[in-house]
Amino acid sequence: MRTVIQRVAKASVTVEGKVISSIGHGLLLLLGIVAEDTEEDIDWLVKKVLNLRIFNDESGVMNKSILDIDGESIVVSQFTLHASTKKGNRPSYLKAAKPETAIPLYEKFVHKLELEIGKKVGTGIFGADMKVDLLNDGPVTIIIDTKNKE
């Protein structure tokens, strides 16, 4: 599982001209899933996301988590996070999980995040042509891969 985490002042997801999710201060997570991902990856990643201290404290130091600031979240499925650009100029998406594997894992990730954060998490629509609008705060952008825990 790979995620791009963006600290945002606001974010929204639009499908076919209709805003389906929007948040204020919080996190926008772009989530890519591979066939080898498991619930163990979900548990580890949710814990990591919730406890990342990437929000400013009263001194302006990144020392608070999404839980500490009572922030909001949106999770958007993005298979292109697993693109391989090793050969040629056209990315290959063979590593990305097929929908029958990815959708249940995506839904479990969102559900687990909601349980742990204690509030509704915004989503996109799996497989849809989405327009993601965000105001990156900082900017702060972090990439985490459960297969490469750096």
C-alpha 5/C-alpha 78 separation (Å) is 12
Question: What token pair was written down for 124?
Answer: 């996109």
From the candidates 79, 109, 123, 146, which is the catalytic residue?
79
72-77/55-56 β-pairing: unpaired
From the candidates 3, 6, 78, 146, which is the catalytic residue?
78
Phi, psi dihedral angles at 110 (to 5 degrees): -60, -45
How far does CA 79 lie from the centroid of its chain? 12
**Active site annotation includes 6:** no
Catalytic residues: 78-80
